[in-house]
Amino acid sequence: MLNNIIDRIKLPFRKEKELYLSLYQIIGIIPHDISYYKTALLHKSVARRNAKGKPVNNERLEFLGDAILDAIVGDIVYEHFPGKREGFLTNTRSKIVQRDTLNRLAKEMGICQLILSNGQTSSHNSYLGGNAFEALVGALYLDHGYNACMKFMKQQVLGKLINIDKVAYKEVNFKSKLIEWSQKNKVNMEFKLIENQKDKQGSPTFHFQVIMEGIPCGEGHGYSKKESQQEASKLTLQRLRREPQFIDEVFAAKANRTKMEEEPVLNVPETSQDMNFIEGSEPKVEKHENPFQTEVFDEKSSAADEVKEELTDSSVEEECMEMSDEAYTEEMLNKFFGKWEGNETAEELMGIIKQNSSSSEPISFEGV
């Protein structure tokens, strides 16, 4: 308290009185050691070095301020929302300390005008303001302590620029909400890069479009992929909420896709194997003879048959004995080989064969 009074008395006599006044309007406290704040406002692009030759910039203070800011905002959110779950508190804190929010705060509070850089402050995709805001918190912590940082956030930020209740219940991450909606409804969605160029100042620009089930949806432009995708997601969510026909179109496209992806139901093949191609595979029906089936012979008929057979055999034998040997032989030859019908004798036939054997003409028996 005494130091603050002394700092106010010394303020009119300071060499850098304008910087002191500007910082007082921003943080609500008169700086005691101005060197911390000068370093917090010094971007690395200036490339200054200290007496030892080491680079001097606000990156170290930015690291410290980021940790202090998380702790302070977490403390404030915890006290402001008693009974709320951890997920709600984490989400609310992240909305306040995210880079986009800090950039807007730095611009509204006039911090961006105090930053020393090589002219890159005009680059839209840089976070000079947000980084300087965190570095300023780190400088304030080193200069006046934790309580001064808590007073700065409660009175200068949350009390004047941010309504913590609106921030807590306002959805700012449109991309995550759109992805969550598409996953719950099993809708295919992608972010398609339409164009990637650079503006007149050389800063990259991105143009993204949301595609759902092949249907073009919202488009977004920005100086980062995240920024352009957030804008495209926001416009797509607005169409889903305000245009029922658009929702019907998306789900109709989904139905067509799922219908095409369904595989046709095939008939279940039979497990029985047709073995007709194997020979002998057909079951044979065995014919069983009746072992008890016997032939019944009449005593009279059987006796007559036996007598008949005996008479036939005996008659043949008697005929063979009555014939001479030559007659029997001739009769057997005629019976099995045929009978010669010509009048020539055997000697005459042999002479004819010898006579014609020396001739080249084929033997002819015509006219013999």
Domains, the chain, ranges and CATH?
Answer: 2-168 (1.10.1520.10), 174-261 (3.30.160.20)
Looking up tokens 């479009």 gives 209
Q: Please, are residues 188 and 254 in contact by the beta-carbon 8 Å criterion?
A: yes
Q: Which residue has the higher pLDDT, 27 or 322?
A: 27
Average pLDDT estimate for 337-348: 65
Q: 341 catalytic, yes or no? A: no
**CA-wise closest residue to 146 among 85, 73, 41, 242:** 73
| Both tokens assigned to 140 | 């304030």
Tell how far CA 192 is from the center of its chain. 18
Mean pLDDT rounded to a whole number for the chain? 77
d(CA 168, CA 92): 5
Beta bridge partners of 220: 208
What per-residue confidence (pLDDT) applies to 179?
Answer: 92
Query: Is the model's pLDDT at 277 over the cut of 50?
Result: no
Confidence of residue 297 (pLDDT cuts 50, 70, 90): very low
d(CA 24, CA 61): 19
Question: Which range among 64-68, 78-82, 358-362 shows the weakest confidence by mean pLDDT?
Answer: 358-362
Give the H/E segment covering residue 177.
Answer: helix 174-184
3-state helix, strand, coil in the chain (%, to 5): 60, 10, 35
Confidence of residue 176 (pLDDT cuts 50, 70, 90): confident
Beta bridge partners of 48: 56
**CA-wise closest residue to 77 among 16, 157, 3, 5:** 157
- Residues with Cβ within 8 Å of 26's Cβ and at least 6 positions away in sequence, in order, are 109, 110, 111, 136, 156
Q: 66 catalytic, yes or no? A: yes
Catalytic residue among 18, 59, 66, 195: 66
> What's the CA angle centered on 245, arms 244 and 246, to 5 degrees?
90
User: How many C-alpha atoms does 338 have within 13 Å on its Cβ side?
Assistant: 3
Query: Is the model's pLDDT at 220 over the cut of 60?
Result: yes
Query: Is the model's pLDDT at 294 over the cut of 50?
Result: no
Q: Please, are residues 175 and 233 in contact by the beta-carbon 8 Å criterion?
A: yes
| Both tokens assigned to 105 | 């705060």
Q: Which residue has the higher pLDDT, 172 or 236?
A: 236
d(CA 64, CA 34): 17
3-state secondary structure at position 268: coil
Tell how far CA 4 is from the center of its chain. 63
Of the chain, the percentage scoring pLDDT greater than 90 comes to 34
Asked whether the whole model's pTM tops 0.95, one would answer: no
Average pLDDT estimate for 113-117: 84
Average pLDDT estimate for 151-169: 89
What per-residue confidence (pLDDT) applies to 135?
Answer: 95
End-to-end Cα distance, the chain:
169
Looking up tokens 């008949």 gives 308
d(CA 192, CA 190): 6
Winning range, highest mean pLDDT, from 1-5, 82-86, 197-201 = 82-86
Query: Is the model's pLDDT at 7 over the cut of 80?
Result: no
Cβ-in-10-Å burial (0-12, 13-18, 19+) of 39 comes to buried
Winning range, highest mean pLDDT, from 24-28, 44-48, 61-65, 99-103 = 61-65
Query: Is the model's pLDDT at 56 over the cut of 60?
Result: yes
Query: Is the model's pLDDT at 307 over the cut of 50?
Result: no
What per-residue confidence (pLDDT) applies to 358?
Answer: 54
Winning range, highest mean pLDDT, from 230-234, 274-278, 320-324, 329-333 = 230-234
Query: Is the model's pLDDT at 365 over the cut of 60?
Result: no
Q: Which residue has the higher pLDDT, 290 or 140?
A: 140
d(CA 113, CA 140): 18
Q: Which residue has the higher pLDDT, 275 or 1?
A: 1
Tens digit of pLDDT for each residue in 246-269? Answer: 999 999 999 998 887 665 544 544
* Helix axes 59-80 and 128-144, enclosed angle (nearest 10): 80
Catalytic residue among 16, 59, 134, 361: 134
